[in-house]
Structure formats: C-alpha cells, structure tokens
Amino acid sequence: MLICISGVDGAGKSTQLALLDRYLRFKGLKTYQLWLRWFSIFTYFLYFYARLVKRTVVVETRSRPVHVHIFWVDKALQRLYPRVLLLDLLLWFFVKKFVAWVKRVDVMLIDRAFLDAIVDLLWEVRDLGFLRSVISRVIWRVISGMKVLILIIEPKEAVKRKSDIVSLRGIAFKKRCFEIFAKHLDIPVVDTTNKGVLDIFKMIYVAL
C-alpha cells in the first residue's frame, strides 16, 4: 500500500507522517519511508546552467539560506526543467518501490511526492505546458495508484511554523493549487490551521 502526505510547506506533513509510521508499526505493519524532495540525476545539469545564467538566487531566511528558482524568465529552463525533474523523481520512486518490495514492506509512506513537485514547478516556471507532457501523464497514473492526503494551512500560519519560507505569496499560490487538484482528483484535504498535532492526526486517520 502506498500512502502519500502532500501539501503546503509548514502544514505538518513530516510530523504527521512520522506519527502515522509509529502508529502503523505499533499495529504490526512493516513500513518504509520515502522523502521525495528532491532527487536529481539529469536535473543537476540544469541546476548548473541556472547558476551560470543567474536564474537561481540565494535568499536568507530566519533559519538558513534558501535557493530560489526564477526559471520562468528563461525559455529553456521553463520547458526542460519540469520534464527532467519529474523524470528524475519517477526513476527514484520506482527504485525505492522495488527496494520496498524486496524488503516485503506492508506500507510505503511518502513525504512529499509528485503532486508537491508539480505544484512547486507551477510556481517556479509559471507555465502549464508541462502538464500535458508524456512524463506528466505517467505521473498522473502513478498518483492514481496511491492513497494521497493533502494538508493545507493559512499562509500566515505557515510562516509562523516554518522559518525557511521565502514568499507568503508563493505559499498562497501553492495552497490554491492543492485545493484545485484535491477537488478534481477527489483527494481528501485536512486544514491544519490552528490545530494541535494530535487533533490533526485524528483527522488524517479518519480521512485514510
């Protein structure tokens, strides 16, 4: 079984996935965790190019420097980056899925996955074209085979929880994207704004 928790930065995805992992292990199930942000093979070449042409900038946040991609201003990056990154993530996913199969895992838990990558890419390239690509069609099929849950949070609350968020506008944009995908893909949504960790976990348990 594949369970993926996706959603807005600061909504509590990693915390809730860790709790779910402990709960499933307590129930006697063998679990395997995968954090899918971000694995790169071919994408490294594009990152190198982006640095050369200054399409990646470093922004200081309250906790650490963050690399911000402004790929929408470069036609080559705008077209190539989404397709290449999704290909890298897909390859890594199938490798890890094979490892989980070899280990006879009952439940594979995924923290951030393809839906998160797609939402981030929409913000970074400001273009919908890659959603119609062959690789995106494969991604949608993979997503349909998972049990996906989306966590959202109000942008101002997200900034309070997570100290490395760069853009309040970016969080608002991503929240709206997740809400749209949830509606069209019939994915359960949990709003974690002003809720305690255990209350959120109970809502996730019911949704799953």
**Residue-wise pLDDT tens digits, 17-33:** 999 999 999 999 999 99
pLDDT confidence of residue 38: 66
- Residue 128 is given by DSSP the state S
d(CA 152, CA 85): 24
| Tens digits of residue pLDDT in 156-189 | 999 988 888 888 999 999 999 999 999 999 999 9
Measured over the CA atoms of residue 134, residue 136, residue 142 and residue 145, the dihedral's sign is: negative
Q: Which of 43, 41, 124, 137 is nearest to 84 (CA)?
A: 43
Secondary structure of residue 152 in the 3-state scheme: strand
Neighbour order of strands in the sheet with 189-191: 31-35, 107-111, 2-7, 147-152, 189-191
Q: Which of 150, 112, 117 is nearest to 34 (CA)?
A: 112
AA letter at 13: K
Residue 151: pLDDT over 80: yes
* Phi, psi for 55 (deg, rounded to 5): -95, 0
More confident residue, 47 or 35: 47
Please give the single-letter amino acid code of residue 47: Y
SS3 content of the chain, % helix, strand, coil (to 5): 55, 15, 25
pLDDT surpassing 80 at residue 37:
no
Q: Provide the CA 41 distance to its chain's centre, in angstroms.
A: 18
Enter the pTM of the model. 0.92
Considering the chain, what is the average pLDDT of its residues?
Answer: 92
Beta bridge mates, 5: 111, 149
Question: For position 208, what pLDDT does the model report?
Answer: 83
Mean pLDDT lowest for which of 16-20, 37-41, 87-91, 113-117? 37-41
Task: Give the number of residues written for the chain.
Answer: 208
The Cα–Cα gap between 178 and 92 comes to: 23
Per-residue pLDDT tens over the stretch 64-99? 888 899 999 999 999 999 999 999 999 999 999 999
Give the rounded percent of residues in the chain with a pLDDT score beyond 70. Answer: 100
